Amino acid sequence: MSKRKSRQYRGKSCLNCETALDISEKYCHQCGQLNSTKKLTIKDFFEEFLSNFYAYDSRLRNSIVSLFTKPGNLAKEFNEGKRQKYANPFRLFLSVSIVLFIVINFNNSKEDALQGWDDQKFEENTVTEKQTDSLKYDLLGTDLNLNITSKKHQIKFHKDSIYTKKQLENDKSHIEYTITSFRNFHLKYPEKSTEKSLIELGFENDFYNRFLFDKTKFFKSNEIGSEVLDYFFQKLPLLIFVSLPILTLMFWLVFYSKSKNYTEHLVFTYTFYTFLFLGLIVFNLTDYISSRSARFLQTISFSILFPFYLYKSLRNFYQNSRWKTIFKFVLLNILFIPFAIFCLLFILFLGMLFF
């Protein structure tokens, strides 16, 4: 037994929350802190650190083992009160999703390196392709001139220029050029207010245009599409985390029961998607070694493993009969598309709101 836990060092009040304690109490019954007045030593410090780390590590291990061996059991036991045995489902999901997107980003870096090598090969063949293209141009004749004129009309706008609403009305890409025009105008006239800038550019001074103009001030360049995609990729774990409560409504409606409240359904949703994300981590790590093996695993998982895992999770968590579970499983799949679309719109809305 650690000396810090010895009876001789126990106090009559908690040093953390000042709750009155009995000398027999090893831990504070209010906040859970160790009842000890002994000064902290290096040995005590590391013992406490290792014990806390092992406690969390064992919960993490129990959670992952349960997810892979007993579908739906983690959520069931966590809702029944066995919460010291498992890691918090919400924190576990967020941690796993962050790891997933780190792995995806790492995989994308590998693909970018391969793409760079392909681009080099492409440049080596440019001369040959140009010669072939020149022969095609000779054959196309007048039709080519019409196509060139049409293409020139399509690319007449430039991202580094400023255009008014009237100039952009007939262009299909007016949204992108509207954003870049707003940004360029603000860079050129930073002293002008949003309202005055919109008037000079010929845009209505409404909520949408003011919101859009103010958001363009935060872009670092005129490569709007790339910046938006990078932003959503970085924020996706958090955005998915806050959108899953919407998807939980689907489970709550299909498996409605007075014995289970919304939060219990929410715990199930997070644990199920934690398993899915762990599977995606395995796919991406496998893809780094062998793309063919990764594609095989994905095909088997999405066609057989994940649907079967969901069925078993539903059966174990909600304790319904086999045929009732199958019926509700089919119903969930029907409802998934509209709920997924709504969640996607919600993610996009949150992303643009906090950009």
Q: At what angle do helices 291-300 and 262-289 cross, to 10 degrees?
A: 150
The answer as to whether 117 is a domain residue is no
- Per residue in 317-343, pLDDT (tens digit) is 999 999 999 999 999 989 888 888 887
For residues 187 and 150, state if they share a domain.
yes
The answer as to whether 82 is a domain residue is yes
pLDDT band per the 50, 70, 90 thresholds, residue 171:
low
Q: At 4, is the secondary structure helix, strand, or coil? A: helix
- Report the distance separating Cα 149 and Cα 152, nearest Å: 5
Domain with 161 in it = 130-224
Segment 265-290 mean pLDDT: 90
Q: In terms of pLDDT, which residue wins out, 58 or 256?
A: 256
For residues 279 and 245, state if they share a domain.
yes
The answer as to whether 122 is a domain residue is no
Choose one of 224, 243, 272: the last residue of a domain. 224
For residues 241 and 320, state if they share a domain.
yes
Contact indicator for 33, 5 with CB cutoff of 8 Å: no
- Single pTM value for the model: 0.61
For residues 230 and 349, state if they share a domain.
yes
For residues 100 and 231, state if they share a domain.
yes
Sign of CA dihedral 195, 196, 197, 200: positive
Q: Which residues pair with 34 in a beta bridge?
A: 27
The answer as to whether 238 is a domain residue is yes
For residues 241 and 216, state if they share a domain.
no
For residues 348 and 231, state if they share a domain.
yes
For residues 154 and 204, state if they share a domain.
yes
Mind giving me the DSSP string for 256-268? --TTS-HHHHHHH
Q: How many domains does the chain have?
A: 3
- Report the distance separating Cα 335 and Cα 203, nearest Å: 40
Per-residue burial over 69-105, b if 16 or more Cβ lie within 10 Å, else e, is: eebbbbbbbbbeeeeeebbbbeebbbbbbeebbebbe
For residues 244 and 178, state if they share a domain.
no
Q: What is the pLDDT of residue 155?
A: 47
Residue 73 has pLDDT above 60, yes or no: yes
The answer as to whether 124 is a domain residue is no
Residue corresponding to tokens 């997107």: 101
Tell me the Cα Rg of the chain: 30
Q: What is the pLDDT of residue 188?
A: 86
The answer as to whether 78 is a domain residue is yes
Residue 178 has pLDDT above 60, yes or no: yes
The answer as to whether 59 is a domain residue is no
Choose one of 224, 257, 287: the last residue of a domain. 224
Residue 312 has pLDDT above 80, yes or no: yes
Choose one of 187, 208, 224: the last residue of a domain. 224
- Per residue in 184-208, pLDDT (tens digit) is 888 888 888 888 888 888 888 888 8
- Report the distance separating Cα 116 and Cα 126, nearest Å: 15
For residues 241 and 211, state if they share a domain.
no
For residues 231 and 214, state if they share a domain.
no
- Per residue in 23-49, pLDDT (tens digit) is 888 888 888 888 888 776 777 666 665
For residues 190 and 218, state if they share a domain.
yes
The answer as to whether 211 is a domain residue is yes
Residue % of the chain over a pLDDT of 90? 21
